[in-house]
Structure 1
């Protein structure tokens, strides 16, 4: 006797198991640090030889690299590579370090007098001593002034001095304007914002 349709054998459902495809994990590359030993490559030696020993123009050096199958390099790329090589090869002796120390001390002593002089040049009507400028600056901006770009060359009239002092004076003027605006705000207005501010009235 044939089984009824309802009694026909039914295959039990088994869900298909999908195994996820594992993506390859990127290999971890060790980051180079400045403490690792630096060695010059053949291209580095060639670049120094062509520029320092033979004194060739940059376009000719780029052509030499291409002719020797060392790669296609643009002139700015070779120039930057040459500059970095020279920086890595620079050696500081005891005399250089002493000059560096003396120059830093000179700038530290002179910077506030330069700031005072620059204030006159940009429109200040009265001469304010450098020590007074330093004291006032510490009151409104306790962060130290960055002297990295202050002069080490030809004095307060040099372009680098003007640029550095101009930025410092601009920051001082902004701080003074901010303090003047804050002094015009009443304590009631500030407390209305949920902030308690104690302001000095000069």
Structure 2
């Protein structure tokens, strides 16, 4: 972690400051004016980068993959159908998320693909 990343984690996790205060501290300590949205995205990416796979996450990945294997042609059929309806597509998208299989926070798709390849 670089100094900015350490500062961001300290202010958010250790001091539990609101985002506006974190942005003000960045401005004061580093002399940089950084928007709240930028800091939030940096924090999200840091959390994703250093998050570790727990057994329940791996099991959820297996279940989600099993579901996809079983239903992939139904999903594809819905995508290519002329009767494609936003509500159905939105429902299927949400249905495929690993959250349904017991994960508390969604994993980015590239992380899931990488983990599946490793398994």
Q: Would the alpha carbon gap of residues 119 and 85 (structure 1) be closer, same or farther in structure 2, given more than 3 Å must change?
A: closer
In structure 1, how many angstroms separate the alpha carbons of the residues matched to 2:80 and 2:43?
41
In structure 2, how many angstroms separate the alpha carbons of the residues matched to 1:100 and 1:107?
10
Candidates 70, 73, 76, aligned match of 1:112:
73
The answer on whether the counterparts of 1:59 and 1:75 sit within 8 Å (CA) in structure 2 is: yes
Which runs of at least 4 in structure 1 moved beyond 6 Å after TM superposition? 117-121
Instruction: Provide the TM-score with structure 2 as the length reference.
Output: 0.59
Shift of 1:44: 1.1
Aligned runs of 1:148-163 on 2, under 5 Å? Answer: 151-153=95-97
Alignment partner, residue 61 of structure 2: 100
Which structure has more relative contact order (CA 8 Å, sep 6+)? It is 2
Instruction: Provide the TM-score with structure 1 as the length reference.
Output: 0.37
Aligned runs of 1:26-175 on 2, under 5 Å? Answer: 40-114=1-75, 122=83, 151-153=95-97
Q: Would the alpha carbon gap of residues 115 and 84 (structure 1) be closer, same or farther in structure 2, given more than 3 Å must change?
A: closer
In structure 1, how many angstroms separate the alpha carbons of the residues matched to 2:10 and 2:77?
49
Q: Deviations over 1:109-159 (max 9, x none)?
A: 123335567888928xxxxxxxxxxxxxxxxxxxxxxxxx5732499xxxx
Q: Deviations over 1:176-200 (max 9, x none)?
A: xxxxxxxxxxxxxxxxxxxxxxxxx
Q: State which structure, 1 or 2, has the greater radius of gyration over its C-alpha atoms.
A: 1
Q: Would the alpha carbon gap of residues 68 and 121 (structure 1) be closer, same or farther in structure 2, given more than 3 Å must change?
A: same
Q: Would the alpha carbon gap of residues 69 and 119 (structure 1) be closer, same or farther in structure 2, given more than 3 Å must change?
A: closer
Q: Deviations over 1:1-22 (max 9, x none)?
A: xxxxxxxxxxxxxxxxxxxxxx
RMSD value over aligned CA atoms? 3.1
Q: Compare the two structures and name the one with the higher helix fraction.
A: 2
Structure 1 residues not aligned, in runs of 5+:
1-39, 124-148, 156-202
